[in-house]
Structure formats: C-alpha cells, structure tokens
Amino acid sequence: MLVFIDESGDPGFKLARGSTNVFVAALVAFQNSTAAQLTQTAIEALATRLRHPGEFKFNKSRHEVRDAFFNAVQGCAFRVRAIVVRKAVIYSPHLRTNNEAFYSFFVRSVLSFDAGLLQNATVIIDGSGDREFKRELKVYLRRQLKPGALKGVRFSKSENDRLVQLADMCAGAIARSYKTERELAARWRTMLRPKIDNVWEFK
C-alpha cells in the first residue's frame, strides 16, 4: 500500500496576522503501485493537455484547472481520508506554540484513525521541514502507529511528485469547503466525494 500525505493551511496560531483558521491533513491511499502509477499517468496527461507548467497546487489553481484535475482522476483507484482542525478548539499550549508538534500530532492522527485501511503502508509526505524534523517525525510515527500499519516513511518534494500534488489538491478541496464565504466553497469537495472515506472534524 502507498499513502501520500499533504496539508492545507498552516500550524500557526497568529490568526490576526494571517494564520489560517482551519488546518487540514489529507491522505491519499493506493492499494498497490499499479493503481498509483495509473493515477500519476492520468495527472501527467492532464498537465500535457492543459500545457500546465510546474505542479498542481489547489490554492494557486484557477477554477477551470481544479475542475479539470478532479475530472481527470475520477476514474482512478484511490481513497481519501482527512482530518479537519478548527484552531479555535485547540487549547493545548504545546500544540499552540510548537508548529512541529502540531504538524506531527495531526499527521499521526490522520494515519491512526484509518478504520483499518493502512496495512504495511509506505507513507510519502510532502518534503518540507529540515532534516532533523523529518528524522524525528519518522521516529514519532513508528512509535505511535499500531503494529503492521507502517512499512516505512519517506519524504518527497511536491514539485517533483504528482501524487503528493494529488494529496495537496484533495486537502485543498476539503479545506475550501469550510470557507463558506468563498465562491464555490464546496464545489471541488463535491467532485471528490466518491473517493472520500472519511473527513474527521477534530474536537
């Protein structure tokens, strides 16, 4: 099993100075490498057809690009699970003041509450963060997840990885659905709905 993880929003709590009110961590799971490769091929074909330079990122994409992206992956075999964190419900001083702890805790949470989905999974996470943080996150996940869930953890830069980009697009679509003041807030989550196993709102 291959699992790709990315997030939408940031772990900061300076809400009056630009931090997001909502943080979403999403995982995209493939049962095998064949399903993952076919999905990657579909995204590559879309990029060629659209003459789309660089990576697909939800927050930097026009409406028509988002539409085309989710239409392109509708026939692909993957599942989506996500955790949605409204920062107003977080009272832990540790999580509110330590960005790395916040990120690690909620990545672990989206992997832990998997309803039995994860079996010997290789987890690929967007490769932000320094080397020490990545090492600590690997150790943390190995210690926290149930036996048999995790085969390994590695990091991949989104600009070079179409399936990390898929996780970004899924996280972005779910996060946008919580911005009800924005145009077409739920549009892309609705397009993604057949792929979604669960969206857990942290409380």
Neighbours of 12 (CB within 10 A): 16
We report the CATH number of the domain holding residue 64 as 3.30.420.10
> Over 80: is that where the pLDDT of 130 sits?
no
Residue 70, domain extent: 2-201
Helices (H), the chain: 33-50, 63-72, 93-97, 99-112, 131-144, 162-176, 187-192
Q: In the predicted model, is pLDDT for residue 114 greater than 90?
A: no
How would you classify the pairing of strands 79-86 and 121-126? unpaired
- Residues contacting 148, CB < 8 A, separation 6+: 119, 120
The answer to whether residue 167 scores a pLDDT higher than 90 is: yes
What is the SS3 assignment for 25? strand
The rounded percent of the chain whose pLDDT value lies above 70 is 99
Number of domains in the chain: 1
Residue type, 114: D
Beta bridge partners of 26: 6, 82
CA distance 164 to 159: 8
Q: What percent of the chain has pLDDT over 90?
A: 76
Cα 48 versus chain centre, distance: 24
Least confident of 8-17, 29-38, 68-77: 8-17
Entry pTM: 0.93
| Whole-number pLDDT of residue 41 | 98
Give pLDDT tens digits for 9-23. 999 998 878 889 999
Model confidence pLDDT, tens digit, residues 42-73: 999 999 999 998 999 999 999 999 999 999 99
Copy the structure tokens of residue 129: 């963060």
